[in-house]
Amino acid sequence: MAKQVIGIVLSNKMNKTVVVEIERKVLHPRYKKYVRKQTKLYAHDEKGEAKIGDRVQLFQSRPLSKLKRWRVFKVL
């Protein structure tokens, strides 16, 4: 089964593509404190329904372009 993640749309200026920021918490190896890390993902949005600030659910797919490896499943 494909991986699924939830993130916030940062940009929708490209045609059928959105930039989504994923935030996760990682335990620091030395200080044993949780640190927030962000990752930007490029996702395919066929209908163009995701707007800036929306929470979206993504699922991993085959490579669609040089950077796009995800598809928008639904807008939450």
Cβ-Cβ contacts under 8 Å for 26 (sequence gap 6 or more): 34, 35, 37
pTM of the model: 0.89
Amino acid at 14: M
pLDDT bracket for residue 2 (50, 70, 90)? confident
In the chain the domains, ranked by start, together with CATH numbers, are 4-75 (2.40.50.140)
Paired sense of beta strands 17-27 and 70-75, if any: unpaired
pLDDT at 71: 97
Q: How far apart are CA 41 and CA 19, in angstroms?
A: 6
